[in-house]
Chains A and B, each alone.
Chain A
Amino acid sequence: MSSSDTPTTREIRTDYLARVEGEGGMFVRVRGDEVEEVQFKIFEPPRFFEALLRGRQFTEAPDITARICGICPIAYIASSCNAMEAVCGIELPEQVRLLRRLAYCGEWIESHVLHAAMLHAPDFLGYAGAVELARDRRDLVETALRLKKAGNTVMDVVGGRAVHPVNLRVGGTFRAPSRPELQALVPELEWARESAVEFTRWVATFDFPDYEQDYAFVALRQPGEYAIERGRIVSSTGLDIDVSEYEQHFTESHVERSNALHSTLAGVGNYLVGPLARYALNSGELSPLAREIAAEVGLGDVVRNPFRSIVVRAVETVYAADEALRIIAQYESPEPSFIPAVPRAGTGHGCTEAPRGICWHRYEIDGEGSILDAKIVPPTSQNQKTIEQDIVGVVRRSLHLTDEELAHRCELTIRNYDPCISCATHFLRLEVERA
């Protein structure tokens, strides 16, 4: 962080944002009371996934795209599987689909608890990180770690391992776990569900900055369930489209300061994906327990204060544990464990709700199954413009703060989004310059 105080210029800078996935920073210039410019930068080096996928077999896309992000590999696996299944005309049998959803519930628990408890909560409590928090409140951190582990264990059992699971494939799973293998998860998931309820009550007591925005929310919607691994793309502005129609409504543009691409929704502009969007559009589909705790902590029907996203993540963690238990209770090991995928020339689209928001994929393959073209739109690049807009709004209300306090407030604003920079590169330094 640096500061210059010429009479008309105030400049604040954080070069490397901590407690986010990947490498990025931010730049803000303030002249008098006007926020002149905000740049949310991504300098995570490009890895060229869309290029390296060309010439690979369509069945390889899930394992390869998982490597875009170690925090949310299932999002990439599930979106690419959906796309390939769409090309091949495969409809998953119900139990096979539910196995994918179960693995995804594990990822939501792991990712949400990692972010909310380990990376975001320290901001509200004035700690540098969870390890520092553990020096004073070891019990809290131990509980959070056990909760995170419950999510990882679901992925271990269904997927083979928590980071880059191996058992999910186009058409289903390599091997369907037995009913007893899943039943063994029940006691810890029951503890996790109860613990997530307590966690929600705790994070709801944090002191949230007073800030609201009238966001355009975008999320998946699937009648009868809180959409995760399937659904139509809907928005608070009235959009309701099949995932294959995404590119007719959303555009990505490339800006110089960033190795990520900015997304906009036609006729609307910037928009928001992730927990706040899912909650605003689908909270009626949450389980009774998740709805009950959301009501108890006063979330209402729509949350427009991004700082309260941590509470929504906690509610979604309750839901994910609840839903995992529901799936396991009705589970019967499917035979066969997958539908064989026969390639045919065509284009397929897939979209699922990564912990950070919708993760959209399109692949064109030939009759031999070779990938001709790939396009991947991760959630963080979709949120990038909205994050910048939030920073402008927050800085405008916070000019009375010292440079150091303002920088911290901006970092907190960015972490509201749980930005996954590894994903978006294909995304952060914080610099605030006051003029």
Chain B
Amino acid sequence: MNGMSGCGQVYPSPHPAVIIEMIETQSLTYTYAQHTPIFQDFNWKVEKGEAWAVLGPSGCGKTTLLYLLAGLRFPTSGAVLVDGQRLQRPRPQTGLILQEYGLLPWATVRQNVELGMRIRDFYGPDGKHAPSHAQEPVEIDVWLQRLGLADHQDKYPSQISGGQRQRTAIARTLALHPDLLLMDEPFSSLDAPTREGLQNLTLELRAEAGLTLVIVTHAIEEAAVMGQKILLLGMPPNTEPVVIDNPHAGKPGYRNEPEYQALCRQLRERMAAAV
């Protein structure tokens, strides 16, 4: 038997309308064996529909935070709540996109995009691996079209470009209709024009679906473009969340605004001070 014994929180909350937080960490502490805690008594909230960027130097715990939010790691103490429920396993409505190597190398683009649906069919709507209510069948073709992959759907990941691979990963995740999208440096291995194109596309898709977005990055410009709020992490232990507001993120042409430049400067200084 696993951690199911926990509490009533695995069941839907009786007052779903009350929940405005998509993510809440309560006294989150996370320690790798015998090291300084990466997070110590860390309290942080993300409201539904917000776009967050998590920015920090290597080794600050950005990726760990994302894995905690994805239900792939568990707190040493404290709790991570997503949509009001304590995470015990990856949540079916959360989408995760990693920097690289997330696609099955032995499956075509189309088979990769279908993978999430096939896994859901594999288990049926059991509420653990898939949402408990049966979902409408997903139009894979629509997503292939939308992300410009229709002409490449029978190719294998090794045959397409890095940008196309990340488009495939995005299509695969969004085809599952997530309400929370977690991204770990998703564009950092791409060249600049491809990166900007995919950043804009992600913002567009996020706005359409009203997704909550948490994107982890070490690139100041990416944080400034993607995050309406920016969580700045420093060297461990992280205790108090350092949050910078960036309300204009996501607006067309924001990259050329003076506010954007000023924010980048500010972030650069604060990051330098944190290391």
A and B bind: no
Interface residue ranges, A against B (CB under 8 Å) = none
Interface residue ranges, B against A (CB under 8 Å) = none
